[in-house]
Structure 1
Amino acid sequence: MVNSRSPQQKRRGSPVMRAELIDAAIRLLEADGPQALQTRRVAAAAGVSTMAVYTHFGSMTELLAAVLAEIFARFGAALGAVAHTDDPVADFFALSVAYREFALADPRRYRLLFSFAAPEDDHSRSVCDFPAAEASGAIGAETFEYPVRAVERMMAAGRLGPGPARDMAARLWAFMHGALMLELNGYLGPEDHSRTTVFLPALIDILVGMGADRAHVERVVPH
């Protein structure tokens, strides 16, 4: 659909224009990679002048932060869509599969999420130190709460041994991210091979190491 509004009219609709610029940037990222995230290209993709970027974000850096926040929001929505059942171990694997599928659906988008370092003043703290996502203020911190809640549910059901839930969730998250980065870079073979020989088997081993019953875990792991 052709948008008949002029660039000047779009700039006055601040929330709408912000969303259009963010969507345009994400489309460019998915099509051409992070090198496409340039002021002129984003503005052209949104059908506005480059001034719109500065009017609504102040700088390309701020637009990039908004892009990251939006992608993390979509990531969180994908994880949040995983239904809870009466078996939290099965639910954890469903969450892990959703995590992996989001990454594989668009590797460029996923890589961008974790390609930027935390602010310098945050280097002394890890995500495990924050009692809740809202306490950190870091873009995307809320997505860590999904594996945390999954671990808490498994512990409450007696499926995992005792331990700090956030630390245990961080270990699982670190493995999933590391394994996915290796897979996305072609080091773990074809997609199905990686899923069945590395990703899911390693998660089984980690959960068993955390106190889960192997027979139960192997029974509920997706095939």
Structure 2
Amino acid sequence: MPRPKTHDDALRARLLDRAGELLSSEGPNALSLRRLAADVNTSTTAVYSLFGGKPALLDALYEEAFRRFGERVAAVPLSDDPVENIVRIGLAYRRSALADPQFYLVMFSKVVPNFEPSEETGSAALRTFQPVLDNVRRAIELEIFVAAPEEHIGIAVWGMVHGLVSLELNGNLPAELTIGEMYERAVRANVNGWRR
């Protein structure tokens, strides 16, 4: 089969997906531009043309992971109830992780030693957390939540959600557990624990 000659968005997406898979399943040593190109049936020239090199590929991978996550969070139908909105965002977090497990490790661990996203990419990643903080702030203002720094509540909710999702993706939860049901109950319990 001849290799594609166009370096388009579809090829870019395939390269990013495969790069995420390699990093999450085999670690950073598995990610060479030559192997990545071969795995996606393209040339290393295409990889360089699209990304400019490995550091830019890693930055694009990080950016794409948070872009997809941010889109899923932004798609959450919000209500007038900020507490319910936080629960819905927590459920979207899990759906996003299950939809793109190859990106989860890239987003939330130092899978590539010494990699730091560009300032612009790092800022974009942080913005995906803003809907949680906005709803926490609103719950505090409406005196639904205790008066505490919004970042404390937001990070506590995120930490619990992140922990359960990580356990699920790593296969560390009991097989007989109905994970979706347990997860939603845990998110609701955590969020409701911040009520006055």
| Shorter-chain TM-score above 0.5 | yes
1:145 corresponds, among 110, 117, 130, to 130
User: For residues 166 and 5 of structure 1, what CA distance do their matches in structure 2 show?
Assistant: 47
In structure 1, list runs of 5 or more residues that go unmatched.
Answer: 11-16, 123-133, 213-223
Q: What is the SS of the residue equivalent to 1:140?
A: helix
Q: Is residue 2:74 matched to residue 1:80?
A: yes
1:25 corresponds, among 2, 15, 30, to 15
**How big is the shift at 1:139?**
5.4
Number of residue pairs matched by the alignment: 189
2:190 corresponds, among 199, 206, 214, to 206
Aligned CA RMSD, in angstroms, stands at 3.4
**How big is the shift at 1:21?**
4.6
> What's the counterpart of residue 176 of structure 1?
161
Contact persistence 2:133–2:151 (CA under 8 A): yes
User: For residues 90 and 53 of structure 1, what CA distance do their matches in structure 2 show?
Assistant: 43
Contact persistence 2:63–2:121 (CA under 8 A): no
User: For residues 83 and 112 of structure 1, what CA distance do their matches in structure 2 show?
Assistant: 27
Identity over aligned pairs, percent: 31
User: For residues 156 and 189 of structure 1, what CA distance do their matches in structure 2 show?
Assistant: 39
Q: What is the SS of the residue equivalent to 2:129?
A: helix
Amino acid at match of 2:145: L
User: For residues 86 and 4 of structure 1, what CA distance do their matches in structure 2 show?
Assistant: 51
Q: Which has the larger radius of gyration?
A: 1
User: For residues 57 and 109 of structure 1, what CA distance do their matches in structure 2 show?
Assistant: 18
User: For residues 148 and 123 of structure 2, what CA distance do their matches in structure 1 show?
Assistant: 25
What do residues 62-83 of structure 1 show as CA deviations (whole Å, max 9, x unaligned)?
1121011012101000000011
Q: Is residue 2:175 matched to residue 1:193?
A: no
Amino acid at match of 1:102: S
Given the two structures, how large is their TM-score scaled by the length of structure 1? 0.69
Using CA pairs under 8 Å that are at least 6 residues apart, name the structure with larger relative contact order, 1 or 2. Answer: 2
What do residues 75-116 of structure 1 show as CA deviations (whole Å, max 9, x unaligned)?
000000011212222222111111111112232222222122
Cα 1:167–1:18 change in 2 (3 A) is farther
**How big is the shift at 1:143?**
1.3
Note the 1:18-57 alignment, pairs <5 A: 19-29=9-19, 33-35=24-26, 37-44=31-38, 48-57=42-51
> What's the counterpart of residue 100 of structure 1?
94
Cα 1:174–1:142 change in 2 (3 A) is same
Contact persistence 1:172–1:203 (CA under 8 A): yes
User: For residues 191 and 30 of structure 1, what CA distance do their matches in structure 2 show?
Assistant: 29
What do residues 2-44 of structure 1 show as CA deviations (whole Å, max 9, x unaligned)?
99974xxx4xxxxxx3734531223325766554643124334
User: For residues 187 and 43 of structure 1, what CA distance do their matches in structure 2 show?
Assistant: 33
Amino acid at match of 2:14: A
User: For residues 139 and 118 of structure 1, what CA distance do their matches in structure 2 show?
Assistant: 19
Q: What is the SS of the residue equivalent to 2:96?
A: helix
> What's the counterpart of residue 219 of structure 1?
none
Q: What is the SS of the residue equivalent to 2:17?
A: helix
User: For residues 136 and 162 of structure 1, what CA distance do their matches in structure 2 show?
Assistant: 32
